[in-house]
Structure 1
């Protein structure tokens, strides 16, 4: 991507590799909102999510030479953001992974109960950390169960179980949210 720096257009990546503060500012401004959104999908507390994003940007700028141009820069940087969030969670919280599937946890969703009016981030925030991490990595980041297993140092079975449970928990939370919204509408 060519950006105007001073009087001449230069490639943003080459300027970032030269540790140019103006290029770093441009990259930061282009991506901070997206990356904060990613951070908040892993870490509920806004201030902790912001800290992780700042650390991620520092790592991005410090390690920009490691980017070889395979894929796009934003995707490479996003992976650093995700890893920074996962490292924060691992270092600040105890996350328990349960590897057995409890059939009583399954809930059937009836089509007539589904509406399009819901707050997805609120639902994700209510998931236990282990469920949310696996769900986000699989659904939002596109990781395979093997990549999740390697990243979180859990077995494939645990990864699959956590995803299953996250989906079931989200289904329950969604139905509860819809019921609450219907009740609030009825009271008006």
Structure 2
């Protein structure tokens, strides 16, 4: 029985894609596009716009493949391209506002135990104001630190922390409202 080295197979696929091999590019797209659409969807509410951004980001992936150093995961590298493209799209659309909150006091987050579906959670995140949503996704989903977020978005670190705090508070309030609605107590 022959064991196939998957990492080597991926390296070969990347090399072919760098050489503009359409079949290799299609294999990369087919493998990663479902997850990457989910990443784009986290930032962009409209599925059609999210798909457009994903396709644009994949074009950037193909254009910049020769810069991929094979350090870390290829999927992680693609994901970073997707996130950056989402941020660029939202900036161009001017759909994001960050409010400076000089009186910000960081609150401890409450874990709200719930049996919310993935769709419910996505609905709640989608209904956050764009600034809150962006910071929430970058911090909670992508795992960036506030200093990194501040640099990426050109804002103060305190603004990032404030936006996250407000996003969490709004999510908690909306989860409570949703639970009350489901229980018929609202």
Q: Same fold (TM over 0.5)?
A: yes
Q: Does 1:55 align with 2:59?
A: no
Q: TM-score, normalised by structure 2?
A: 0.86
Which structure 1 segments of 5+ residues have no match? Answer: 4-8
2:46 is matched with: 45
1:176 is matched with: 177
Q: Does 1:73 align with 2:74?
A: yes
Which structure 2 segments of 5+ residues have no match? Answer: 1-5
Q: C-alpha distance in 1, partners of 2:129/2:141?
A: 17
1:164 is matched with: 165
Deviation at 1:116, TM superposition (A): 1.4
1:122 is matched with: 123
Deviation at 1:110, TM superposition (A): 9.0
Q: How many residues align?
A: 175
Q: C-alpha distance in 2, partners of 1:79/1:10?
A: 19
Q: C-alpha distance in 1, partners of 2:94/2:170?
A: 21
Deviation at 1:58, TM superposition (A): 0.4
Per-residue Cα deviation, 1:121-177 (whole angstroms, up to 9, x for no partner): 001001000000001001111111111000000000001100111111110111111
1:20 is matched with: 21
1:6 is matched with: none
Q: CA RMSD in A?
A: 2.4
Kindly report structure 1 stretches of 4+ aligned residues shifted beyond 4 Å: 108-111
Task: Label 1:10 to 1:94 Cα distance change in 2 as closer, same or farther (>3 A).
Answer: closer
Give the number of the structure whose residues are more often strand, by fraction: 1
2:3 is matched with: none
2:151 is matched with: 150
2:104/2:162 contact within 8 Å kept: no
Q: C-alpha distance in 2, partners of 1:77/1:117?
A: 29
Task: Label 1:10 to 1:155 Cα distance change in 2 as closer, same or farther (>3 A).
Answer: closer
